[in-house]
Amino acid sequence: MRREPTWRIPVGILGLLAGLAIYALAVMWASQWIGQTHVLVQTLVYLVLGVVWLLPLKRFLIWMETGRWR
């Protein structure tokens, strides 16, 4: 069991926050076009965009903890 934190954890947290901020700004920027579509299309798009950012998160958290991507 590891007793001392590594540099990957604070760097990973900062990277995660920066990535989420950039992603949120991109979705906010795209919302001007998404908002012009039908309400059901908007719902589907925002549902997908709200979940898709989670896909790389597992590997990123594994890297933060172990230093490996798998």
Q: Is residue 3 part of a domain?
A: no
Q: What is the pLDDT of residues 3-61, one digit of tens each?
A: 677 889 999 999 999 999 999 999 999 999 999 999 999 999 999 999 999 998 988 88
Predicted TM-score of the model (pTM): 0.80
Domain span at 53: 8-66
Question: Which of 70, 57, 44 has the alpha carbon at shortest distance from 12?
Answer: 57
In whole angstroms, give the CA distance from residue 69 to residue 26.
Answer: 26
Please count the structural domains in the chain.
Answer: 1
